[in-house]
Structure 1
């Protein structure tokens, strides 16, 4: 049986870039989209000015070079069982071993540990090799060297090396979004032992939220984005309101409207697209910044997969007090705040006239149906990803997983690893367990992950999947963003 005619969410042209989120990329060989958009820009204007200039880096006095801590403090840290028994630790350090970030604990008190990690990486590199992972005692130690930084994950959770490396990629990108990779490289070219924490005010909060966010949201695992359920006509009206209000504004690159970690619409400049991982960073920024709800904001934002060498400038504002959807207007012009503020006011007026604010509120207030409500009694939960559009859909979570979300997350990680194992990837995965039966399927057009009732009959699985695909296909205009609006 062919499923080519029932691939929900498929489209010939995608709103988002559909390259593999887990794939590594080398910023050195990326073209500069910012220079293409505004090719008259002076070099000094492409450098960031949000914290301090690179020329000031060398004026700092370094207060800590190679680690030296007394034995008493060392022993206190070793004996801190609460810290040592955390399920997952994340560390970021410079190539010189300078502490930058630790998910738990104080970086300065952990200087000895950062020194051990740096020594391990250096020893392996001295033998013309790279340290990727170490497994010992049920713990995975995963390393990612992204010059000039070293990122390390230490996990007891049921996560593969590839999944942990993907998380480290996100953390690196989160840091780059604050500084740009160009500035990171220049800083350490001038001072290898520089304490990067001086420049990363606020980034710890973003990284902490990102790690929690990634645990709860399957979007990070799938490399895709979920859309707010709206009729195609309302979504089109929303996009049209943004286009008509912004199309005459010089050098506006992206307009993004989102709510509740879901995309409502994305309007983009022709020729340029967003990668899902960049959109995830935007979601994380909005979700973790309460001040956006009360204050119109203007901030430089580097989107590493779009252009890691410089900043876009973002106008960020919620639509209104009676509609908690957040609008971001991204431009290469650093002095366009008032112009974009006026555009936002025009957008809100048009959305209000077309009853779009009410439609957004109604969708936000009404949760997605669960599997039982949509007629799939044998299915507890599922994730469906359309590869051609980098979008996914999931129903609302119902018992027993509404109280045990981590169990559901671990099941999906197991299925995802089965399909994406670098050594031996599978196309089909089915496993009957004591509490559930789990299934995964990787096709040319989509990925499907399903958690079944434990006693589901194997012979009925194909029929259930067929009904499920058809159910989503009938509703794809509401569940997916299939249009590609441009300025």
Structure 2
């Protein structure tokens, strides 16, 4: 396969690419989202094995791959999905054989059971994990790192907790993030730092050559207080970057 993706309930676990594909360009986040939304949430697994053409428009809008998707493991290990992309139209049986070999290896090493247990237990982290209780939520995207990491752009964010547990409140929060993003990336007046007081929360966007960070606080947090919290958060993100990000996606 040209690309192999291991996903758990729609979340990226790891990815590996052929060297030729890695040298040909970046796998953009929007293309990865497309793959995970289409095949990585268990939809492919529910149908047994799936073989379908798929276009990754940011990678190459004029071409497409053949995508193979299947659930790994037995019913008690449900939630782990393998996605393989091939350039071969008749590559289904080769992809299926690759899946069986990988599944046998993961089971023999005990990794498949560990992955399934992590899925059942919740693989995310809460906004209090960085040790900043004033922080309600954040989105962080590193803009520097190993060259291999730049070929697979990533971001991290904590699980959504109160007061953002309802779908309506989640949409409202991400609309606010979208507003911040549009302001800091305005073609007329781009900004590095934006402090915004909304009706129910305070938000701060911080963009540098090294990262983009969008954050949400309780409504009474001051600008100086928010920056102090984010400085602490950045130290935690740096410390945990090997856990949070795939820094060296493996070519093969």
Tell whether the structures are fold-level matches, with TM greater than 0.5.
Answer: yes
Counterpart of 1:301 in structure 2 is 54
1:470, distance to aligned residue in structure 2 (A): 1.2
Q: Unpaired runs of 5+ in structure 1?
A: 1-251
The structure-2 alpha-carbon separation of the partners of 1:289 and 1:354, relative to structure 1 and needing over 3 Å to count, comes to closer
State TM-score, norm by structure 2.
Answer: 0.86
Q: Measure the CA separation in 1 of the matches of 2:192 and 2:109.
A: 45
Counterpart of 1:380 in structure 2 is 136
Q: 1:338 aligns with which of 90, 93, 98?
A: 93
1:304-383 to 2 correspondences below 5 Å = 304-321=57-74, 322-364=77-119, 365-383=121-139
Q: Unpaired runs of 5+ in structure 2?
A: 145-149
Counterpart of 2:147 in structure 1 is none
1:278-332 deviations in whole A, cap 9, x for unaligned? 2222122116873532311222222223333333222211112324221111111
1:373, distance to aligned residue in structure 2 (A): 4.7
1:116-153 deviations in whole A, cap 9, x for unaligned? xxxxxxxxxxxxxxxxxxxxxxxxxxxxxxxxxxxxxx
356-365 or 423-432: bigger deviation: 356-365
Q: Measure the CA separation in 2 of the matches of 1:428 and 1:451.
A: 14
Counterpart of 1:423 in structure 2 is 188
Bigger CA radius of gyration: 1
The structure-2 alpha-carbon separation of the partners of 1:301 and 1:417, relative to structure 1 and needing over 3 Å to count, comes to same
SS at match of 2:127: coil
Asked whether the 8 Å contact 2:7–2:40 carries over to 1, the reply is no
Asked whether the 8 Å contact 2:198–2:219 carries over to 1, the reply is yes
Give the paired residue count. Answer: 236
Counterpart of 1:3 in structure 2 is none
SS at match of 1:392: coil
SS at match of 1:426: coil
SS at match of 2:155: strand
Asked whether the 8 Å contact 1:258–1:326 carries over to 2, the reply is yes
**RMSD of the alignment, in Å?**
2.0
SS at match of 1:272: helix
1:68-467 to 2 correspondences below 5 Å = 252-273=1-22, 274-286=27-39, 290=43, 292-321=45-74, 322-364=77-119, 365-388=121-144, 389=150, 390-403=153-166, 404-467=169-232
SS at match of 1:391: coil
